[in-house]
Amino acid sequence: MQSFIHIDSHNYLRPENLPDPPDWASLFGNDNPVALEIGCGVGDFILKTALDQPDTNFIAIDFYNKGCYKTCRRIDRHELGNVRVLREEARSFVTERIPKGSLSAVYINCPDPWPKKRHRKRRLVNRQFVEFLMEYMQPGANFYFATDFDDYGEDVAAALPEIQGLENQFAPDLFRHDFPGYHLSKYMRKFLAEGKKIYFVHYRMK
């Protein structure tokens, strides 16, 4: 059982303190586009991405308290004003907290691969989950997925061309192992150092 770390950061939002539904423009203090990272880990990816895109507001969620704590530490040290962190489960958070048609981008990096065959139904990203997310994305919004797990990357890459309303930004390739300009998370760098390949998938809403 994980120990609970108290998070004392103005960038950390507790769900019980949010208005229902949240007014993200008020929570960020501006009307900039809103992007979502599902599974922010220790926050290195969202830090670099938010620094690169100061005119985008980023919501970073993770199920693990320790990851949220480390993410807040990173963004607080850099005094970033365009990231808010929440400890939430992805599907319920999106359903309850995100207005439909509002997200400018969704990032999912190295989610739990559930490597055993009998557990693969537990994987977060599949055709049904992406179709669910599309309801909350605006026209022109970007969807990014990355994994180091071979069959997870191949399965997602094979499923997405069947979805109406998305355009593959890597066409004719279904995935790529190199994505210049896309920041690597701590876990991606670790996997690359071990000789593994990263599967990148990038689609855009029509």
Tell me the pLDDT tens digit for each residue of 123-142. Answer: 999 999 999 999 999 999 99
Where does the chain have alpha helices with state H? 24-28, 44-52, 65-77, 90-97, 127-134, 150-159, 186-193
pLDDT value at residue 4: 83
Q: What is the pLDDT of residue 2?
A: 56
Sketch out the chain's domains with CATH numbers: 15-205 (3.40.50.150)
* Mean pLDDT, residues 164-173: 97
d(CA 169, CA 174): 9
Locate 1 and state its tokens: 């059982």
Q: How confident is the model at residue 3, as a pLDDT?
A: 72
pLDDT tens-digit readout, 62-121? 999 999 999 999 999 999 999 999 999 999 999 999 999 999 999 999 998 877 877 778
| pLDDT tens figures, 14-45 | 988 888 889 999 999 999 999 999 999 999 99
Active site residues: 112
What is the reported pTM?
Answer: 0.95
Among residues 77, 20, 78, 28, the alpha carbon closest in space to that of 56 is found at 28
